[in-house]
């Protein structure tokens, strides 16, 4: 009797041990899949790895300015990327500019080309979807222009800031050069963030039925 009980006990123990050994093997593919998902999300869904969106550039620039003083040059580079992308985005929706201008990285030249294409690009516009049956206008979005003078100013300051210089005290918080340029970058970030947020390119709805684009000062008047 005892021998039978002992045999049954050993048999159950063996099954349990085999089960413990097989359990990781059974769940290993699922675990590996979950780890791959986490790894993918970490690499591709992190906001600080995005580079194509001007708002992401500006967000990273603001974050860099909260760090060590030596990071100010990297913040300036992010602001410059944002400015260039914002100017370039406007030209993606029109064929009224040359390929030479499109390929040029200078945002000032692109804004000037945009103004030559249509002087109305210098003004803010409201965009409406028109109900053809009732004539009702439904607010669709807004176009907010980059101010040409500010673009010239920002481009000049950023270019000067990013050119090599001798004797900079990048690690000193109260250095005048750092304080002055940090204030400039904050000004640029605030302005560009306001323009970039919920902004629709001027030519995005050109010659599209049921869409009406009205200058803001005319619309409000």
Give me the tens of pLDDT residue by residue for the chain, a chain 221 residues long. 545 555 555 555 565 565 555 555 555 555 554 555 555 455 445 555 556 799 999 999 999 999 988 899 999 999 999 999 999 999 998 888 888 988 889 999 999 999 999 999 999 999 999 887 787 888 989 999 999 999 999 999 999 988 867 776 666 778 888 899 999 999 999 999 999 999 999 999 888 888 888 998 865 55
**pTM score, whole prediction:** 0.74
**CB 170, CB 58: distance < 8 Å:** no
Range list of H helices, 66-215: 72-91, 99-103, 107-117, 148-162, 176-196
**CB 144, CB 195: distance < 8 Å:** yes
């Amino acid at each position: 009797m005892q021998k039978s009980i002992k045999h049954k006990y050993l048999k159950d123990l063996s099954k349990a041990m085999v089960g413990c050994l097989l359990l990781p093997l059974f769940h290993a593919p699922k675990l590996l899949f979950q780890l791959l998902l986490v790894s993918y999300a970490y690499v591709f869904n992190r906001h600080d790895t995005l580079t194509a969106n001007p708002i992401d550039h500006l967000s990273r620039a603001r974050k860099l300015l909260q760090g060590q003083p030596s990071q100010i040059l990297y913040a300036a580079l992010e602001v410059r990327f944002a400015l260039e992308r914002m100017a370039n985005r406007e030209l993606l929706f029109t064929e009224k500019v040359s390929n030479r201008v499109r390929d040029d990285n200078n945002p000032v030249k692109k804004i000037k080309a945009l103004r030559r294409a249509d002087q109305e690009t210098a003004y803010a516009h409201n965009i409406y979807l028109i109900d053809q049956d009732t004539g009702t206008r439904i607010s669709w979005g807004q176009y907010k222009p980059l101010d040409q003078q500010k673009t010239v100013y920002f481009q000049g300051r950023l270019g000067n800031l990013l050119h090599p210089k001798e004797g900079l005290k990048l690690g000193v918080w109260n250095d005048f050069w750092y304080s002055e340029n940090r204030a400039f970058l904050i000004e640029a970030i605030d302005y560009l963030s306001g323009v970039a947020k919920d902004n629709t390119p001027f030519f995005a709805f050109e010659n599209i039925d049921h869409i009406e684009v009205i200058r803001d000062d005319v619309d409000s008047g």
